[in-house]
Chain A
Amino acid sequence: MSSKEKGWKEISPAGVCWKSSMTYLTGDWKTYHPERDLQKCTKCLLCTIFCPDGAIHWKPEKGDIEFDLSFCKGCGICANECPTKAIVMRI
């Protein structure tokens, strides 16, 4: 019996979810992580588009992309699709 879970008198009826998945960090799933060669990167943003987890963000204020490794599962799609091969997957 888990004491951390809520009881039936405490939760809203009908199972409406009350936690955003942004608090569930899937980053520890990965074996490989992406590393980017800033010289080769043209900021085409294809990686931000193809990432299944939305773990690559375009930061307009920085004028650059950012990998969010707390969600990255290390699938390697970004590296595979990068037109300039600027991303490699490393352990």
Chain B
Amino acid sequence: MSFSEGKFTAKDIAEKPELFMSGHRACAGCAPATVLRLIMKATRGPTIVTNATGCMEVSATIYPYTSWAVPWLHTAFETAGANAAGIETALKILRKKGRIKDEQVDVIALAGDGGTYDIGIQALSGAVERGHDFLYVLYDNEAYMNTGIQRSGGTPYGASTTTSQAGTAVPGKLENKKPIAEIMVAHDMPYVATASPYYWKDLIMKARKGIEVNGPAFLHVFAPCPRGWRSDQAKSIELTKLAVETCIFPLWEAVNGEYQLSIPSKVIALAPQKKKSVREYLEGQGRFRHLFTPKYEKMLDEIQRFTDEKWKRLLKRCGMTLAA
């Protein structure tokens, strides 16, 4: 079946083996864990995974236990991109020298927003510039969750984290979320996409596309953390739907730099009445609780304003305009 064209059913996915196994120690309701399971369902054959330090790395590989059914390497926090480069290079030369089987082995680098936006951006950028053939998956829970919810470059405006606290003098993080996916598009790389686990089919299809592409691919996946976001652990997946419906996290692909809106976001572009107010998304999360007080409620309008602005800009890039 043509996976990268979305020609698969839930049953097809359910019948594929679990390469990210149960028994890991992620929190109950951890969306990144769901993301990892779905990414691994997108694999097409022999795969090697390398992981940056973070929640998913620590919770799934507590010696002597491991949740990984594929070859897996962790070295450090900044190194997901560099590891992938090293693995891909070694496979290439060992195949050439006849020291390993001549078969396609896919390389996937996994990292959180910590290991991607900030400390890991150099290695990622370098690996992409050199054109290594690998898929980089960013599971974005919008803070350094593993070390206790500290702010990252991916933390959104107004969010309260332990190092950007909402207090009586300062209302949480004052800087905007770094547009990491756009930064990766600016690298002139073959494939960049955003995905959200509620739209599981879109996510798996994009992961497969990234694996199949010859060269570097970047997949930015939205992955709520109920612990860090102070949200209901049962609503982790629902939040990923709201993020798309409010256009806070629109879904798109950039194939060789050309933007294409993905269906879940296209639906909203074509029927703007379906676009939800950002309040619906923000009100379920304790990290934005202070925005619903008289002192800081103007920030809600600010968030709505630049969300709309970014959405308009994205539509322009995708060759669409808002319906009148």
Selected from B18, B197, B237, the residue in CB contact (under 8 A) with A80 is B237
Residues of A within 8 A of B235 (CB): 77, 80
Residues of chain B at interface, number, CB under 8 A: 40
- Asked if A44 meets B65 with Cβ closer than 8 Å, knowing A52-B31, A54-B22, the reply is no
> Does B23 make an interface contact (CB < 8 A)?
yes
B65 touches A76 (CB 8 A): no
Within 8 A of A (CB), among B13-29: 13-15, 18, 20-29
CA distance A30 to B65 in the complex (A): 21
Contact A77 B236 (CB under 8 A): yes
CB contacts (< 8 Å) of A80 on chain B: these are 234-235, 237-238
Beta-carbon contact of B38 and A49 below 8 Å: yes
Contact of A15 among B18, B29, B63, B234 (CB under 8 A): B63
Q: Could you tell me the distance in whole angstroms from the C-beta of A79 to the nearest C-beta in chain B?
A: 7
Complex CA distance for A81 and B232, rounded to whole angstroms: 13
Number of CB contacts from chain A to chain B under 8 A: 117
Q: Which of A22, A45, A76, A81 contacts B14 (CB 8 A)?
A: A45
A52 B21 Cβ-Cβ under 8 A: no
> What's the nearest-Cβ distance from chain A to residue B3, in Å?
15
Q: A49-B13, A52-B34 are in contact. Are A17 and B65 (CB under 8 A)?
A: yes
Smallest CB–CB gap between B138 and chain A, Å? 18
User: Do the beta carbons of A24 and B23 come within 8 Å of each other?
Assistant: yes
Q: A51-B34, A76-B29 are in contact. Are A21 and B14 (CB under 8 A)?
A: no
- Which of chain B's residues have a CB closer than 8 A to the CB of A17? 61, 63-66
Interface check A18, CB cutoff 8 A: yes
Query: Complex: how many Å from CA A19 to CA B31?
Result: 25
A52 to B29, CA, bound (A): 6
Contact B65 A79 (CB under 8 A): no
Please determine whether A75 and B15 come into contact, CB atoms closer than 8 angstroms.
Answer: no
Which interface residue of A15, A17, A25, A53 has the most chain B CB atoms within 10 A?
A: A53
Closest chain A CB from B283 CB (angstroms)? 16
A21 to B67, CA, bound (A): 5
Interface pairs A-B: 7 shortest CB-CB: A21-B23, A76-B234, A75-B29, A52-B33, A73-B28, A58-B14, A17-B66
